[in-house]
């Protein structure tokens, strides 16, 4: 069996027309599949169907999996016979809203639903011009479950944007047997230059696996400006592919033999001193 996977990342623009955003995503994935018959997995950005803003979250929330966005992704996966990591949408369940990533199998079935565990809170010089404040928790409810899906021969851990700042989550996924982590991410422009690449390379080198992030295209006229630069980092913590700022599609073959190669050559998990760690924890 092949230990390789051909994936596409779609760094899409996002406007205020949900139907238009979803239609653009569907048409783009179809075009990529037509141009790349070996394509097995398509990855969409965080908040790909509606603007990323506290004010807009309630307006554009949908149920999962009954809502129109989910139904469009299910149909697309089934039609093209590919897996889809559906970025994220705002999910409505009862009186609660979640930032939710859905994952679809090649038969159109829902195989994963990740509700963002770590809600994004930021306050950088809010009193000054150019300062930024954002608080997802003011509107959204945090998820409470990790999400591992089987894509082909590989276990893939799912997070959303701010989740990648937390090394504990990535470590759990590695321990659960994951060889790739995927984070749909609308990382903001003020954090991007400092931490975007750094965090992905850190998660990759700590856990010796692939890290994939898919961002919306940058729109400098929007209220929340995404950084762009969708990225694939390999288990050596090298940037394998990187997008620019605008609308851009990346198709790449992932060779998971590299995961075992790195883990064999630098066997850090075999060297972990759990006896020492346990003693320190008990003394705290």
Tokens of 135: 């608080």
Tokens of 167: 């090394």
The secondary structure of residue 15, as a DSSP letter, is -
* Residue 171: its H or E element: helix 167-175
pLDDT per residue, tens digit, the chain (284 aa), is 579 999 999 999 999 999 999 999 999 999 999 999 999 999 999 999 999 999 999 999 999 999 999 999 999 999 999 999 999 999 999 999 999 999 999 999 999 999 999 999 887 766 665 567 789 999 999 999 999 999 999 999 999 999 999 999 999 999 999 999 999 999 988 888 999 999 999 999 999 999 999 999 999 878 788 999 999 999 999 999 999 999 999 999 999 999 999 999 999 988 888 888 888 888 77
Task: Give all domains of the chain, ordered by start, each with its CATH number.
Answer: 4-283 (3.60.110.10)
Give the span between the Cα atoms of 147 and 66, in whole angstroms. 20
Q: ∠ at Cα 123 (122, 127), nearest 5°?
A: 160
Q: What is the 3-state secondary structure (H, E, C) of 57-104?
A: HHHHCECCCCCHHHHHHHHHHHHHCCEEECCCEEEEECCEEEEEEEEE
Q: What is the pTM of this model?
A: 0.95
Show which residues are catalytic: 46, 116, 161
The total number of residues written for the chain in this structure: 284
């Amino acid at each position: 069996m092949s230990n390789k996977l051909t994936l596409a990342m779609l760094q899409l623009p996002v406007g205020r027309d949900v139907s238009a955003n979803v239609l653009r995503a569907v048409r783009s994935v179809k075009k990529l599949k037509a141009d790349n018959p070996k394509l097995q997995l398509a990855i969409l950005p965080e908040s790909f169907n509606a603007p990323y803003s506290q004010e807009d979250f309630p307006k554009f929330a949908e149920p999962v999996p009954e809502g129109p966005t989910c139904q469009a992704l299910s149909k697309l996966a089934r039609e093209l016979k590919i897996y889809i990591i559906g970025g994220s949408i705002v999910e409505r369940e009862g009186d609660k809203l979640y930032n939710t990533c859905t994952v679809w199998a090649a038969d159109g079935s829902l195989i994963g639903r990740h509700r963002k565990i770590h809600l994004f809170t930021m306050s950088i010089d809010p009193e000054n011009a150019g300062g930024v404040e954002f608080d997802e928790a003011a509107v959204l409810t945090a998820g409470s479950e990790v999400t591992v899906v089987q894509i082909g021969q590989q276990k893939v851990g799912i997070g959303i944007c701010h989740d990648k700042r937390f090394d504990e989550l990535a470590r759990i996924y590695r321990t659960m047997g994951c060889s790739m982590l995927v984070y749909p991410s609308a990382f903001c422009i003020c954090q991007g230059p400092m931490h975007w690449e750094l965090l992905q390379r850190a998660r990759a080198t700590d856990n010796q696996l692939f890290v994939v992030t898919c961002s919306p295209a940058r729109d400098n006229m929007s209220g929340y400006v995404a950084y762009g630069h969708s990225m694939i980092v390999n288990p050596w913590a090298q940037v394998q592919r990187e997008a620019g700022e605008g609308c851009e599609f990346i198709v790449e073959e992932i060779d998971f033999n590299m995961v075992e190669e790195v883990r064999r050559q630098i066997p850090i998990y075999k060297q972990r001193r759990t006896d020492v760690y346990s003693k320190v924890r008990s003394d705290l």
